[in-house]
Chains A and B, each alone.
Chain A
Amino acid sequence: MAKKTVPPIKIALAGNPNAGKTSLFNVLTGSRQHVGNYPGVTVEQRWGHYKVNGQRVDVVDLPGTYSLTSFSPEERVARDELLHTQHDVVVVVADSTALKRSLMLLVQVMQLGATPVLCLNMSDEAMASGQRIDRKRLELELGFPVVETVGHKGKGRDDLIAAIFRASESKTSAKTPSLGEDLDGAIETISATLKLSGSLPQTKAWVATRLLVGDEKIAEELAGDVSKDTVALAKKEAERLSNETGQDISLFVTERYFAFVDDLLAKVVKTERRSDSRARSERIDRVLANPTFGLPVFGIIMFAIFWVTFTLGEIPMGWIESGQGMLSDWITGFWPQGSESALRSLLVDGVIAGVGGVVVFLPNIVLLFLGLALLEDSGYMARAAYLMDRVMHRFGLHGKSFVPMMTGFGCSIPGIMATRTLENERDRLTTMLVLPLMSCGARLPIWMLLIPAFFPPEWRAPALWGIYSIGILLAFLLALALRRTVLAGEAAPFVMELPPYRMPTSRALIKKMTERAWIYLRKAGTIILAVSIVLWVMSTYPKKDTYEVDAQLAQGIEMTDEEIEQARGGEDLRYSVAGRLGIAIEPLIKPMGFDWKLGTSMIGAFAAKEVFVANLGIVYSMGETTEDSEDLRNKLSRDYSPLVGFSLMLFLLIAAPCMATFAVTRRESGSWRWAFLQLGGLTLVAFLLSTTVYQVGRLLGAG
């Protein structure tokens, strides 16, 4: 059957943050979508497609923006996409309850000469507040389709799809909006000197306006098309206009954009009765956003989410663990008992132990993201950010950094993934980079092993509290340091919308949950699988031919089979690449008070922090080691002073986040540079701190 292939229709969704763009995107594309990052920036990219009557429509969801200037990375991405990609249709998603601001963006899209469709989203809320829009009239005024939708409820999908199809058939660019005689004149004068090539000619009005307000980035970027004379002309026109009006040029242009919107809305919007649609939100905010009660209530809400995450998560975690146990046994069953097999060891000790150790946290991830999605979709997250911003901002962070950082106490990976709620790139990177300092759940077994080994009973609880506090303190200090150095620059403006409370829909919640779960699982199946294998090889090979323990046995020393097995394991590890590496790095870690045994154990901790405990057990040939292992503790407190113990805890808290964190930082930041900065920076800080503590402590006579 030879089918004629019709090229897909390409559309883009543009709109303000919180206008419901992403829920409309989900309604359109269903599950046929991808999430990624724009190359080199932390801006999230979503694309997908849908089919109507055999016609494929490719959709790209642009980052939410208020304007198409080039100040923030989000705006730049949205702008570039609209400027340089030929979209058949640009759907401008407007928040019907904030039409004035939403349509400001539409004016700019019209200037770009796109083929727009205006989508009045959340029309139900606008209706409820007594706002009536004459949609037909608006369509007539604008000259392109206008539809009403309720994105999160999936209402208006068919209308939207039909409007997109109509617009793509018509192939008509929006007429250039009239912004007043004087400004239109200036734009035309500048446009006349522009010789834009490729897909750019229709964007003349927009480019001219940008040049008029002195957007240097546009001039640079289009250097081939924009001559120096044009830039000079734009400057002259700008001066003339601001002299005539007594306003600076950016205010002048922005006011004209809004004036265009005001004129339009005056013709098509009627407010029947002024009912306060926010009355309900206002009542809730009297408690939740209260200057005094707001913070404790937030504390309780966060606690509840974590409690659910960890207690409820334990049940499916148990299933996964026993499933893994069964799988291990089943695989082991293929080999005769007591036999040696590299493949079996690779599968059981490498792959299942490594990947399984990560997969086991999946229920936690799912539950945590359900909680976070609830906070976000209900509108509460903005309140939490409002409450926390004052403290967070002092340290160069953002009010919204708080929740991802709290999440980091559970596991850094979902924490780093949760930084997606931060719109500003620098805020997001800062939060992401310091997040591993929040002592994660995988480090808890380490504290459980080390603290009782080195601290008297009455000091154990304060020691645990102390190690968490040191992490938090360091995170704040390093955030501040980052903002003064690599992430320095003008602070992003904090102008945050506080949307009314909305009931989250189960559809949206499930979508968010599965999306995050899938990202997490995919990582376990790829990078973590690979590194697990590498680490297994490193700690297994080369193998010893003869064991010292055999010589001892020959001399008649009595040992149980288990003890022999363990002793051999210990010798193997020492002989392996990981063991030799530990011995090799001993001079490096000596200033902190560590020997090769601790060094070797730490190499494994890069795979997963809790592996440190298991590795230490192997090094000491202690048999099945758990965090409660009394024997191992005794050996530790015999071999190392409390000072070394403390230095070790500091190092394990701060140094090198685990490989999964490294991988997720790479992914979420969009570049290896940040992942390596995090890895190297934290390790350096850890080294300096532990060395200082150990050396000063020794001088003072401790240890």
Chain B
Amino acid sequence: MNDSKSPSLQSLVSLAPGERRQIGEVRGQGSIRQRLLDMGLLPKQTIRMERIALGGAPVWVELNGSHLALRREEAEMILVGEEA
């Protein structure tokens, strides 16, 4: 199922600050993925890139009104689709 990556999905880290997208897929496995899911990072949710720290990570995103920081490794697990 994790291989069903559609060509239009791109990694969260590739977004520029201010871009708003819909989450398409949450990859990875085990506890890290579960933590992402538990925090509401689920497919079809809208996510907005707020800012990116010096050096490209961590990234700061907004989701359902709350703000979260993600490391590069975690942000790369989140694939986003078209603009929302």
Interface residues of A (CB under 8 A from B): 66-67, 69, 71-72, 97-98, 100-101, 104, 129, 242, 246-248, 250-251, 254-255, 258, 278, 285, 289, 291-292, 294-295, 382, 385-387, 389-390, 393, 399, 490-491, 493-500
Contacts and interface: CB of A to CB of B under 8 A. Distances in A.
B51 to A, nearest CB: 6
A390 B60 CA distance: 13
27 contacts: A67-B35, A69-B31, A69-B34, A71-B30, A71-B35, A250-B37, A251-B43, A254-B34, A254-B37, A258-B42, A289-B51, A289-B60, A291-B51, A386-B60, A390-B57, A490-B30, A494-B58, A494-B69, A494-B73, A494-B74, A495-B39, A495-B41, A495-B70, A495-B74, A496-B68, A497-B69, A498-B69
B32 interface: yes
A72 B31 contact: yes
B66 A495 contact: no
Nearest to B37: A254
B9 interface: no
Nearest to A253: B37
A497 B67 contact: yes
Given A71-B35, A289-B60, A495-B70, A389 B42 contact: no
A101 B69 contact: no
Contacts of B69: 382, 385-386, 389, 494-498
B4 to A, nearest CB: 8
Interface residues of B, number: 35
B72 to A, nearest CB: 9
A491 B36 CA distance: 14
B64 interface: yes
B61 to A, nearest CB: 10
Contacts of B26: 251
Contacts of A101: 38-40, 64, 66
Given A101-B64, A247-B1, A491-B73, A387 B53 contact: yes
A291 B51 CA distance: 8
A295 B54 CA distance: 10
B80 to A, nearest CB: 16
Closest 3 CB pairs of A and B: A71-B31, A494-B71, A67-B38
B5 to A, nearest CB: 14
A494 B51 contact: no
B45 to A, nearest CB: 9
B53 A254 contact: no
B32 A497 contact: no
Interface of B: 1-2, 26, 30-43, 51-55, 57-58, 60, 64-71, 73-74
Nearest to A71: B31
Given A246-B1, A493-B74, A98 B64 contact: yes
B34 A250 contact: yes
Contacts of B65: 97-98, 129
Given A67-B34, A498-B68, A254 B54 contact: no
Contacts of B36: 493, 495
A353 B30 CA distance: 53
Contacts of A129: 65
A389 B64 contact: no
A395 to B, nearest CB: 14
Contacts of A258: 40, 42
B60 A248 contact: no
A495 B42 contact: no
Of the listed residues A97, A254, A285, the one surrounded by the most CB atoms of chain B closer than 10 A to its CB is A254
A466 B48 CA distance: 44
Contacts of B55: 390
Contacts of A498: 60, 67-69
A494 B76 CA distance: 12
A491 B34 CA distance: 14
Nearest to A393: B71
Contacts of B35: 66-67, 71, 493, 495
A250 B58 CA distance: 26
A482 B6 CA distance: 40
Given A386-B58, A494-B58, A69 B38 contact: yes
B58 A97 contact: no
A524 B36 CA distance: 43
A328 to B, nearest CB: 52
Contacts of B43: 251, 255
Looking at B31, B32, B40, B66, the one whose CB has the most chain A CB atoms below 10 A away is: B66
B54 A248 contact: no
A251 B58 CA distance: 24
Nearest to B66: A98
A292 B64 CA distance: 27
A66 B36 CA distance: 10
Contact of B42 (A71, A251, A382, A500): A251
Nearest to A286: B51
A667 B54 CA distance: 37
B60 A490 contact: no
Nearest to A387: B53
A390 B53 contact: yes
Contacts of A496: 58, 68-69
A291 B53 contact: yes
B66 to A, nearest CB: 4
A490 B73 CA distance: 12
Contacts of B31: 69, 71-72, 490, 493
Given A97-B66, A490-B31, A254 B57 contact: no
Contacts of A393: 71
Given A97-B66, A390-B58, 15 more contacts: A69-B31, A98-B64, A101-B40, A246-B1, A254-B42, A258-B40, A285-B51, A386-B53, A386-B69, A387-B54, A389-B71, A399-B58, A493-B71, A494-B71, A496-B58
